[in-house]
């Protein structure tokens, strides 16, 4: 037979054991709640991290797209610049070729102009020489005519002299000869005129005719006594 003190001790032990069990159960429940709360927080944190990572990825993708767009524009700009450079080079080459052709033409034209100028100078010199030669020939001819006229103006019997020349002017009072000395001969009623060896008159003497005349000097005037006219 058990003692009341032992029963009390047993009951106390049961009570204590139950209380301990309850305490342990409460602590376990608290630990489970804490673990659940921790897992939820961790899930939430991981979700936030995932969202942040996703946002960073989106930002990175957007940035990459922007950079790709910039790279595309830059490449397009480079291509445009290359195209413009090629066009500028082609234009420069074309203009250089045209400039070279123009320079070549200018040189050729300059050479042609120089040759023409040289030829013109030569022709001018030749013309000048020809003109001088003609003038000299005319002077020589005039001197020869004067010498001939002087030679023909010989002293004849009775104080008559002769002269020959081309008629430049004639009327019923006087006769004017070119290149003769004397050049003026007075005509009188006694002046004898023959035309081609036939008797004639002063009216038959025309300008440009070749004549040979005999004359007498009356003071300072020469009066024709005979005039021989050659009509042909």
Structure tokens at 208: 């440009």
Distance CA 158, CA 162 (A): 12
Domain that holds residue 73: 42-152
* CATH number for the domain that contains residue 168: 2.40.50.320
- Of 202, 204, 213, nearest to 172 (Cα)? 202
- What's the confidence (pLDDT) of residue 85? 87
Residue that the structure tokens 């342990």 belong to = 24
Residue 28 lies in a domain: no
- What's the confidence (pLDDT) of residue 164? 95
**What value does the mean pLDDT take over residues 60-83?**
90
- What's the confidence (pLDDT) of residue 174? 95
Residue 193 lies in a domain: yes
Q: For the chain, how many structural domains are there in total? A: 2
**pLDDT confidence bin for 147, thresholds 50/70/90:** low
Residue 214 lies in a domain: yes
Task: Select from 152, 171, 193 the last residue of a domain.
Answer: 152
Residue 3 lies in a domain: no
User: How far apart, in Å, are the Cα atoms of 94 and each of 87, 89, 91, 99?
Assistant: 10, 8, 5, 8
Distance CA 7, CA 85 (A): 113
Looking at the structure, tell me whether residues 138 and 196 fall in a common domain.
no
Predicted confidence (pLDDT) at residue 169 exceeds the cutoff of 90? yes
- What's the confidence (pLDDT) of residue 162? 95
Looking at the structure, tell me whether residues 182 and 127 fall in a common domain.
no
pLDDT per position as a tens digit, 89-101: 989 889 988 888 8
Q: Are strands 192-195 and 198-200 parallel, antiparallel or unpaired?
A: antiparallel
- Average pLDDT of the chain to the nearest whole number: 82
Looking at the structure, tell me whether residues 103 and 176 fall in a common domain.
no
Looking at the structure, tell me whether residues 139 and 199 fall in a common domain.
no
Predicted confidence (pLDDT) at residue 56 exceeds the cutoff of 50? yes
Residue 228 CB partners (closer than 8 Å, separation 6+): 194, 197, 211, 212, 213
Task: Select from 91, 123, 152 the last residue of a domain.
Answer: 152
Q: How many CA atoms lie within 13 A of 151 on its CB side?
A: 6
Residue 132 lies in a domain: yes
Residue 8 lies in a domain: no
Q: Which residue has the higher pLDDT, 6 or 183?
A: 183
- Of 56, 54, 75, nearest to 64 (Cα)? 56
pLDDT per position as a tens digit, 176-220: 999 889 999 999 999 999 999 999 998 999 999 999 999 999 889
Residue 12 lies in a domain: no
Looking at the structure, tell me whether residues 54 and 123 fall in a common domain.
yes
**pLDDT confidence bin for 225, thresholds 50/70/90:** very high
- What's the confidence (pLDDT) of residue 176? 96
Task: Select from 106, 127, 152 the last residue of a domain.
Answer: 152
- Of 153, 150, 216, 159, nearest to 188 (Cα)? 216
pLDDT per position as a tens digit, 105-140: 878 888 888 889 889 888 988 888 887 878 887 776
Residue 7 lies in a domain: no
Looking at the structure, tell me whether residues 46 and 137 fall in a common domain.
yes
Looking at the structure, tell me whether residues 118 and 201 fall in a common domain.
no
């Amino acid at each position: 037979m058990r003692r009341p003190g032992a029963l009390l001790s047993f009951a106390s032990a049961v009570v204590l054991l139950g209380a301990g069990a309850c305490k342990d159960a409460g602590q376990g429940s608290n630990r489970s709640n804490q673990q659940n709360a921790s897992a939820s927080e961790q899930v939430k944190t991981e979700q936030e991290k995932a969202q942040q990572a996703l946002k960073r990825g989106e930002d990175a993708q957007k940035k990459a797209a922007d950079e790709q767009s910039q790279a595309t524009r830059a490449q397009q700009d480079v291509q445009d610049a290359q195209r413009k450079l090629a066009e500028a080079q082609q234009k420069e080459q074309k203009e250089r070729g045209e400039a070279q052709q123009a320079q070549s033409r200018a040189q050729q034209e300059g050479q042609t102009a120089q040759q023409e100028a040289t030829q013109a100078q030569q022709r001018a010199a030749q013309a000048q020489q020809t003109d001088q030669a003609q003038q000299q020939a005319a002077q020589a001819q005039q001197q020869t005519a004067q010498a001939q006229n002087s030679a023909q103006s010989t002293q004849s019997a009775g104080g008559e002299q002769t002269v020959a020349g081309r008629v430049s002017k004639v009327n019923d009072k006087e006769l004017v000869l070119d290149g003769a000395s004397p050049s003026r001969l007075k005509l009188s009623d006694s002046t004898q005129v023959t035309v081609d060896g036939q008797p004639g008159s002063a009216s038959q003497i025309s300008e440009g005719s070749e004549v040979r005349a005999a004359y007498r000097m009356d003071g300072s005037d020469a009066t024709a006594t005979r005039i021989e006219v050659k009509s042909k």
